[in-house]
């Protein structure tokens, strides 16, 4: 048996050691930090915004905006550095230096990313956390506001109400969600049947692009502006701020929450909800929540249907609308609460409306949990027999919950190509599947996730087909994970068509034009076209793989 000669082995070893040392993340840390310092303006030094793993505040900064406990474990991959910019120049520096040193950057605004892709990666990366950039500038005269990406929805709603009792903004019902991720993914809320989604009410944007340039709508052009209004975060640039259009609301609105179990005729009420909710008065949004609860009879389970609503009007008019269009629920005026729009936000977040509204300025959620989410769209009503089968499956699985959000109204009027968010006319409602748990451990997590996947699979005959569609803000890695290698485009298409349908093609074209080297990327970002991606495939990892392959072939040949 002949071993490799030292003459043959030495060059290979030298090549491997040089490549490993050159591409090791730690070797680039100090150089990267020096670049950040040099690139930032001397009057606004970036040093105070940099946290290495050796910093005493590193863990607290990282964990402050983790909203899913699945990604706050000792084994969760951590960034090698966190940058928390408090000026646009810091964002520019981060992009320029990361690109110069070929470093992966993740961008986080509020941390509600369901799959953690804005702050977790299997590859070495650094985190650009936007929470310091959270100014809100309200202009009631023009009925608009500039809102930075790190602001939360609760802060936005509070600041609007400070200036006007008759203005609001159609975004999400969770106050601690960050503006950057919410709007860039096409965020929606309980005003969408009246005014559309958050992205339908964006009139300008500010970003830092892949070249480190500050751009607004005029300088970025209409194509890129279209893409950042719902094309997903982490694909086209760092979102700095959105200019939003405020909408008009009455000084008093009405909310209600009514529960019905199967024993209280829930099957018939839910069957009628699906016909009424998408076609009822546009001022009325009725969410349906389905979950398994204990029955009055000990040891048995039932399904509870919760109807929670926001009506832009008083309770008398609401009851009249319900009697006419949805009498099966049997809504009474005593079920209704008249309140301000700002207090209705608290009601929808299960906060007592008697609580001081300043609670909306709290950036931390009331509680944290482990969670998994999935989504679907429904285009045809479900038969009573179909609902009865769903009840049976839910009771079998016990823990999974479904949220149904009705469409219709303004959502059916906006063309599917107006923004990247394509789910418009033809959709009756959107489903969010929820699994929530509080126990740690991989085995427990897999149990809950598998139960949710089983319910999702069971719902297949009732939801959209070819493709089965999904909502970008309800990120779901089950739809596909992209490592942006040679087949990056094909991998991206797997989830991209489900999130964006026919708009995916246009998003890829824009992405390939404005970020051809795919600097801005996540596990589910918009990919670049394959012929461009091929150049990125020749990376340090692929070179090492080729060298190891050659080494192995040479070794085997010499064993013969």
Q: Are 376 and 433 in contact (CB under 8 A)?
A: yes
Contacts of 308 (CB under 8 A, 6+ apart): 255, 256, 257, 286, 287, 289, 348
DSSP string, 318-341: HHHHHHHH-GGG---GGGEEEE-H
d(CA 360, CA 356): 9
| CB atoms closer than 10 angstroms to residue 350 | 9
Residue-level length of the chain: 560
Q: Three-state secondary structure along 261-314?
A: EHHHCHHHHHHHHHHHCCCCCCCEEEEEEEEEEECCCCCCEEEEEEEEEEECCC
Alpha helices per DSSP H over 126-221: 153-163, 179-184, 192-195, 217-220
On whether the CB atoms of residues 289 and 308 are closer than 8 A, the answer is: yes
First to last CA, the chain: 7
Secondary element (H or E) of residue 535:
helix 530-537
Q: How far is CA 169 from the centre of its chain?
A: 18
Peptide bond preceding 467: is omega within 30 degrees of 0, i.e. cis? yes
Residues tagged active-site: 474
Quote the tokens at residue 56.
């005493």
Q: Helix 503-514 vs helix 488-500: angle between axes, to the nearest 10 degrees?
A: 130
In whole angstroms, what is the distance from residue 186 CA to residue 198 CA? Answer: 6
CA distance readout (Å), 319 to 190, 269, 282, 314 = 18, 16, 15, 9
Angle at 517 between CA 513 and CA 520, to 5 degrees: 90
Cβ-in-10-Å burial (0-12, 13-18, 19+) of 131 comes to: buried
How far CA 511 is from CA of 106, 123, 207, 408, 517, in Å, comes to 17, 22, 14, 31, 10
d(CA 58, CA 81) in angstroms, rounded, equals 8
E strand intervals along 35-154: 50-52, 81-83, 104-108, 125-129, 136-139, 144-148
Whether residue 119 contacts residue 111, with contact meaning beta carbons closer than 8 Å, is answered with yes
């Amino acid at each position: 048996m002949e071993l490799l000669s030292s003459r043959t082995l030495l060059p290979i070893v030298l090549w491997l050691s040089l490549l490993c040392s050159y591409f090791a993340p730690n070797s680039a840390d100090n150089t990267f930090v020096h670049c950040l310092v040099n690139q930032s303006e001397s009057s606004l030094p970036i040093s105070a915004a940099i946290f290495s793993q050796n910093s005493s505040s590193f863990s607290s900064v990282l964990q402050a905006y983790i909203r899913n406990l699945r990604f706050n474990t000792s084994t969760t991959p951590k960034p090698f550095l966190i940058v928390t910019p408090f000026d646009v120049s810091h964002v520019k520096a981060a992009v320029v230096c990361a690109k110069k040193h070929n470093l992966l950057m993740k961008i986080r605004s509020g941390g509600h990313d369901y799959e953690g892709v804005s702050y977790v990666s299997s590859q070495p990366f650094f985190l650009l956390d936007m929470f310091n950039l959270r100014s809100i500038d309200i202009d009631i005269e023009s009925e608009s506001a500039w809102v930075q990406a790190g602001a939360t929805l609760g802060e936005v709603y509070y600041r609007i109400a400070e200036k006007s009792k008759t203005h609001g903004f159609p975004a999400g019902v969770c106050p601690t969600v960050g503006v950057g991720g919410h709007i860039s993914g096409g965020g929606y809320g309980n005003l969408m049947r009246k005014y559309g989604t958050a992205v339908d009410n964006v009139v300008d944007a500010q970003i830092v692009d892949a070249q480190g340039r500050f751009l607004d709508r005029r300088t970025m052009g209409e194509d890129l502006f279209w893409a950042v209004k719902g094309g997903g975060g982490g694909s086209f640039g760092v979102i700095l701020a959105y200019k939003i259009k405020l909408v008009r609301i009455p000084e008093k609105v009405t909310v209600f929450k009514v529960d019905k179990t199967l024993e209280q005729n829930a099957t018939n009420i839910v069957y009628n909800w699906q016909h009424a909710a998408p076609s009822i008065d546009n001022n009325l949004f009725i969410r349906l929540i389905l979950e398994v609860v204990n029955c009055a009879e000990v040891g048995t389970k039932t399904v509870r249907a919760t109807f929670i609503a926001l009506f832009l009007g008083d309770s008398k008019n609401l009851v009249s609308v319900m009697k006419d269009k949805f009498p099966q629920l049997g809504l009474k005026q005593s079920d209704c609460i008249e309140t301000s729009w700002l207090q209705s936000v608290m009601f929808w977040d299960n906060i007592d409306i008697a609580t001081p509204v300043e609670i909306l300025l709290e950036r931390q959620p009331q509680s944290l949990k482990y969670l998994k989410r999935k989504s679907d769209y429904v285009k045809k009503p479900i038969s009573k027999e179909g609902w009865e089968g769903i009840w049976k499956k839910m009771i079998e699985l016990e823990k999974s919950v479904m949220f149904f959000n009705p469409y219709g109204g303004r959502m059916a009027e906006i063309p599917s190509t107006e923004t990247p968010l394509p789910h418009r006319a033809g959709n009756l409602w959107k489903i969010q599947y929820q699994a929530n748990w509080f126990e740690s451990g991989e085995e427990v997590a897999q149990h809950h996730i598998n139960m949710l996947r089983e319910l999702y699979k069971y719902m297949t005959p009732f939801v959209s087909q070819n493709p089965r569609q999904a909502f970008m803000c309800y990120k779901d890695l089950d739809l596909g994970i992209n490592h942006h290698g040679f087949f990056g485009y094909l991998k991206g298409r797997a989830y991209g068509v489900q999130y964006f349908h026919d708009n995916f093609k246009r998003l890829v074209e824009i992405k390939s034009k404005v970020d051809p080297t795919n600097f801005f990327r996540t596990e589910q970002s918009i990919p670049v076209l394959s012929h461009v991606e091929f150049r990125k495939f020749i990376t340090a990892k692929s070179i090492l793989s080729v060298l190891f392959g050659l080494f192995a072939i040479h070794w085997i040949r010499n064993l013969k």
